[in-house]
A and B are shown apart, each in its own frame.
Chain A
Amino acid sequence: MGRYSAFEIFKQALSGHKNWPALWRDPVPKPRYDVIIIGGGGHGLATAYYLAKEHGIRNIAVLEKGWLGGGNTGRNTTIVRSNYMIPGNTEFYEHSMKLWEELSQDLNYNVMFSQRGQYNTFHNPAQRDAARRRANTLRANGIEAELVDASEMKARVPGLDYSANARFPILGAIYQQRAGTARHDAVAWGYARGADQLGVDIIQNCEVEEFIRDDQKIIGVRTTRGEICADKIGMAVAGHSSYVAAKAGLTLPIETHVLQAFVSEPLKPIFDTVISFGAAHFYISQSDKGGLVMGGDIDGYNSYAQRGGLPTMEHVFAAGVSFLPFLSRLKVLRQWGGVMDMSMDGSPIICKSPIDGLYINGGWCYGGFKATPASGWCFAHTIARDQPHRFNEKFSLDRFPRGYAIDERGAGPTPNAH
């Protein structure tokens, strides 16, 4: 399959666009690979892509129990930003941002990455101080960030409740110019196509049932499509990390929780940026189709159900309406829930597991989408070289017993508070 280009569009037009090749093959699993990646979401596919592209390992299978991008890659609010403050997170998410900026070119596939900026509002002097500190930290790390006052904010983002009577008066916002959104399905498809072109076998409808061991080492997996062996097996199954790890006898510092997201009926353009409410948990952007894409708190109790409850929906929109009063007139068109790996410090895990042959990528809480490129890039490095890159060396499992938790929110080991 060739590259996409203007010439290719012209050529395909001659046959009525009926002969575009499939984006990836549908191969029968081979009995043996160099590397198996469990999980065909954005992170797993990105890992396979970077293993093949950066490390020359091409004998790879990606095993997906359902269809590509059918998990959290298709269940998020598509926001990309890199405004993290704690060492470990700062450099990792900024690396991700840099990969995002080149991604469509790199994959030769339009992931519709739109750097429309992101505002995070503050509502009292203490929050303003915290925002200033965050902006300074970011700028000290070479990441552009700007503090915007209320009058400037009002000029740039009309429509918020700027009145003196607002429940939480807006004093200003911290703004990251390079933040934005991307088309979530395209990210999975683009990485899948890229990996497939480099020889990676993408195997769908193939669920891992158990691990095959040789003494202590894990040497393969037994799946719904037979036994498949590999020297190295990486799992990128966030939401179900505990479930898969338990098959290998591992207990992880993770609880699984449901996060809901919402899309309103389509409106004419009203927001050309991403906005997060600083006084409660609520964030909003507008899709190219006009729908307002919104999210907020997780439901708050352990759940593997890919659906959410009404009390949390009410809670999210109570926050939304206090920020954007016009929301009360809108109808929600779609709502969905995704299951999150909520880690004990709110930060992810990308490392070798304590078991030989098994590598772990998980614990993404609800920040996994923006991390997709760097997650795959770092996980590929960790698998290929058997040691972490400096961008993910702090995301180890042993940071918890060693006392090096990366707790951006400062909430402690209470996953439903991150």
Chain B
Amino acid sequence: MLRIDCPFCGLRDETEFTYGGDASRKRPQLEEKSLNVWNEYVFLRTNPMGGHQEYWLHQHGCRSWLKVTRNTVTHEITEVSFANPELET
């Protein structure tokens, strides 16, 4: 069982959250025409063994999207913040 320290709700069980995948990807500008750039964004993943930045939605809590840094081998969570940096203050 993962436990995620939601900055709004506090420490909660993994079962309250929904996984949102790799948070290190940057969506290209919509004007971007290069298929390679879109391929990288849509399909390619660095899939690291170790520290991984990822989104989690606190679905059964405050419904905030969170950005979590978690180790993919030990599952240790080292950092949790709101995905929207404006909420951090």
Contact = CB atoms under 8 A, between A and B. Distances in A.
A244 to B, nearest CB: 10
Contact of B72 (A251, A253, A305): A305
Chain A, interface SS category: mixed
B10 to A, nearest CB: 19
A398 to B, nearest CB: 9
Contacts of B75: 303, 305
A20 B52 CA distance: 49
Interface stretch (B35-43, B58-66, B81-89): B35-43
B54 A400 contact: no
A300 B19 contact: yes
B22 interface: yes
B29 interface: no
A401 interface: yes
Given A309-B1, A309-B14, A414-B21, A255 B73 contact: no
A310 B13 CA distance: 11
A242 B47 contact: yes
B43 A413 contact: yes
A305 B70 CA distance: 12
A256 interface: yes
B73 A400 contact: no
Contacts of B73: 303-305
A204 to B, nearest CB: 21
Interface string A301-332: 11111000111000000000000000000000
13 contacts: A242-B48, A252-B47, A253-B43, A254-B47, A256-B49, A302-B72, A303-B73, A305-B73, A305-B74, A311-B13, A344-B43, A400-B42, A415-B45
